[in-house]
Amino acid sequence: MLTMPDPDRNVLGRRDEIVAALRAIVPGEGVIDDETGRRPYECDGLTAYRQLPMVVVLPETVEQVCAVLRYCQGAGIRVVPRGAGTSLSGGALPLEDGVLLGLGKFNRILDIDYANRCAVVQPGVTNLAITQAVQQDGFYYAPDPSSQIACTIGGNVAENSGGVHCLKYGLTTNNVLGVQMAMMDGTLIRLGGKHLDAAGYDLLGLTVGSEGLLGVVTEVTVRLLKAPETMRALLIGFPSSAAAGATVGAIIGSGIVPAGIEMMDRPAIHAAEEFVHAGYPLDVEALLIVELDGPAAEVDHLIERVDGLARGQGATEIRVSRTEEERVAFWAGRKNAFPAVGRISPDYYCMDGTIPRARLPEVLDRMNEMSAHYGLRVANVFHAGDGNLHPLILYDANVAGELERAEEFGADILKLCVEVGGVLTGEHGVGVEKRDLMGEMFSEDDLKQQQRVKCAFDPDQLLNPGKVFPRLHRCAELGRVHIHGGQTRFPDLPRF
């Protein structure tokens, strides 16, 4: 069972007074305290966990964001930032005694600057809207999460989101140049800008992926790229996932970094095909989609090489897209894999973990054993290039105990990722979902050092507490140094 920090009774008792104070900062409809109005904010994409927030605040200006935070800091009130609420790890799960700070109204693109190849946008702008704003000029924003129609750039920054193209183009962290951020005490800071790299410590790099625990992002400067001349894809079927995995290794080992390499296993292929009729072969155990981009001369050359490598590993079916429609059709099944699985099962639980790619066959075998053990089916889509697994566990929440079994199954998969040398997350963050598994990967000292980072930004731990870290330590306690004069001998090392 997930436990969240104990609600502060004192804060709950002052609810009316707090709502009035917030209304003085954000006028009109921007403060929602009635139950119906708060209901849509009770969960994010991890719908198994729900909690009505004490109050929802939807500011419209940066000054309001700062003032809300300053007030909350002064009054000891917890704050949970929220973008579009598509997080799959419960990062935006509200707190009973907390303000839910929604950034949806910050939806303007402020500056498109081709001379510096960047755009400055507000945090509530959707990922896709950035590309849409610049594509008529041949540019795009590279990270492309499947949720890109809905998710916000602020959420992307918080989760360090990825997409099918991050093997070649990087994750959010590699594509963000700067942020403006409000700290919990209401101070506004700028990290980075239109230039590269930091003057001192890379606080921008630290902020990206910090899951809303360090500050509220109020503006983002993203890198724009010129769209490639040509994009073509190969759809390749294999008699085993081991052969598919070996092909990925062979492609990368031969010096090719495709724009994307995605893998699907048999259950995922079948679910996708039934849903979108993409024409996927159904007699294969694994399917690879390999996309190549660049000048036509390069793409043609590499397609030939990938084709040869796949044949060498025993591919049974190879199709190469000849038109843009065909390329899009190859992707249709993969891009709709989640909803496709949603059709064949009342509920599904989307996992996210990363493994060294070479361990894939073994990990899939173990996952199948677990599937039998828990009596739950699992379908796999996989960012094969970088080892990021997305097992989808199929369950029925109306059957007593299935959700719990699905969660246990999921936890076992993540432990397996760590066991084979991978990590607990890929691109969905820790949130509340994997919070209690952090000890599988990190020692107590590792976690304490991470929490000390939080102390430098938010010493009262009011911003999004209860996420990422299994145990909250007070900053004063974390600050103590456990070494005392005279306790250690002079180190027995070679000296000169």
Partner 1 sequence: MTESLSPRSHDDILDAVRWAVAEKAPLEVVAGGTKRGWGKPLRTNHVLDLSALAGIRLYEPEELILQAAAATPLAEVEAALAQSSQQLAFEPPDFGPLFGRPAGRQTLGGALMANLAGPRRIKAGAARDHFLGFVGVSGRGETFKSGGRVMKNVTGYDLCKLMAGSFGTLGVLSEVTVKVLPAGEKTRTVLVCGLDDEPAAAAMAAALNSSHEVSGAAHLPAGIAAQSAVGYVRDPGTSVTAVRVEGPGPSVEHRCAALRTLLGAWGATEELHGRNSAALWSEVRDVSYFAEEPMRAVWRLSAPPAAAAGFLPGLVRDTGADHFADWGGGLVWLSASPDEAAADRIRVAADSCGGHATLVRGPDALRAAVPVFQPQPAPVAALSERLREQFDPNGVLNPGRMG
Residues that bind ligand FAD (CB under 6 A): 44-45, 80-88, 91-92, 103, 123, 145-147, 151-152, 154-156, 158-159, 161-163, 211-212, 216-217, 338, 427-428, 464
Coil vs helix vs strand at 392: strand
Indicate the SS3 state at residue 88. Answer: coil
Q: Which of residues 41-70 bind partner 1 (CB under 8 A)?
A: none
Does 388 contact partner 1 by CB under 8 A? yes
Phi, psi of 411, deg, nearest 5: -65, -40
Task: Name which of residues 114 to 143 contact partner 1 (CB under 8 A).
Answer: 114-117, 138
Note the helical H segments in 76-194: 127-134, 153-159, 166-169
Q: Please answer whether residues 61 and 208 qualify as being in contact, where contact means their C-beta atoms are separated by less than 8 angstroms.
A: no
Which of the listed partners (ligand FAD, partner 1, none) does 146 bind, with a CB threshold of 5 to 8 Å by partner kind? Answer: ligand FAD
Closest CB 394 distance from ligand FAD, rounded Å: 16
Question: For partner 1, which is the closer residue by CB, 126 or 425?
Answer: 425
CB of 340 to ligand FAD, least distance (A): 11
Which of ligand FAD, partner 1, none binds 424 (CB below 5-8 Å, type-dependent)? Answer: partner 1
CB of 65 to ligand FAD, least distance (A): 9
Residue 246, CA distances (Å) to 62, 251, 388 in order:
50, 9, 16
Pairwise CA distance, residues 164 & 145, whole Å: 7
**75 scored as a contact of partner 1 (CB under 8 A):** no
By beta-carbon proximity to ligand FAD, the closer residue of 202 and 419 is 202
Q: Token pair for residue 277? A: 């009729």
Site for partner 1 in 164-193 (CB under 8 A): 167, 170-171, 173-174, 183, 187-191, 193
CA-closest candidate to residue 394, choices 331, 437, 351: 351
For residue 473, what are the contacts with CB-CB under 8 A and spacing of at least 6? 448, 451
468 binds partner 1 (CB under 8 A): yes
Residue 7's binding partner among ligand FAD, partner 1, none (Cβ under 5 to 8 angstroms by kind) is none
Residue 313: which residues within 8 A CB-CB, separation 6 or more?
Answer: 238, 243, 244, 246, 247, 250
Nearest 5°: phi and psi at 235? -115, 120
- Tell me how far, at minimum, the Cβ of 297 lies from ligand FAD, in Å: 31
Work out how close the CB of 28 gets to partner 1 at its nearest, in angstroms, rounded to a whole number: 30
Cα separation, 256 vs 248, whole angstroms: 10
* Closer residue to ligand FAD (CB): 174 or 240: 174
- Rank residues 246 and 278 by Cβ distance to partner 1 and give the closer one: 246
Residue 496 interacts, among ligand FAD, partner 1, none and using kind-specific CB cut-offs from 5 to 8 Å, with partner 1
DSSP H helices in 135-177: 153-159, 166-169
Residue whose CB is less far from partner 1, 83 or 215 = 215
Interacting residue with partner 1 among 72, 151, 208, 236 (CB under 8 A): 208
| Span interacting with partner 1, options 42-50, 68-76, 339-347, 453-461, rule CB under 8 A | 453-461
Whole-angstrom Cα distance, residue 169 to residue 86? Answer: 23
Residue 18: phi and psi, rounded to 5, are -65, -45
Task: Choose which of 446, 471, 472, 474 interacts with partner 1 (CB under 8 A).
Answer: 446
CA–CA separation, 478 and 358 (whole Å): 39
Radius of gyration of the chain (CA): 24
Q: Which of 353, 352, 369 is nearest to 421 (CA)?
A: 353
Give the integer Cα–Cα distance in Å for 46 and 23.
30
Sign of torsion over alpha carbons 69, 75, 76, 80: negative
Q: Which amino acid is at 171?
A: L
Nearer to partner 1, 269 or 416 (CB): 416
Place of tokens 């010096």: 255
Among residues 82 and 359, whose Cβ is nearest to ligand FAD? 82
Residues 8, 63, 285, 298: which binds partner 1 (CB under 8 A)? 298
Size of the site for partner 1 (CB under 8 A): 108
By beta-carbon distance, which residue lies closest to ligand FAD? 155
CB of 402 to partner 1, least distance (A): 27
- Could you tell which of ligand FAD, partner 1, none binds residue 295, using a CB distance below 5 to 8 A set by kind? partner 1
Considering only 197, 323, 325, 401, the residue that binds partner 1 (CB under 8 A) is 197
Residue with Cβ nearer ligand FAD (243 or 381):
381
Strands (E), 277-377: 286-294, 317-320, 347-350, 353-354
Q: Of 84 and 261, which CB lies nearer to ligand FAD in the complex structure?
A: 84
Q: Considering only 29-37, 38-46, 368-376, 452-460, which stretch makes contact with partner 1 by CB under 8 A?
A: 452-460
- Listed residue (214, 274, 209) closest to 425, CA to CA: 209
Options 327, 335, 357, 390; binder of partner 1; rule CB under 8 A: 357
Neighbours of 411 (CB within 10 A): 17
Residue 232 interacting entry, from ligand FAD, partner 1, none, C-beta within 5 to 8 Å by type: none
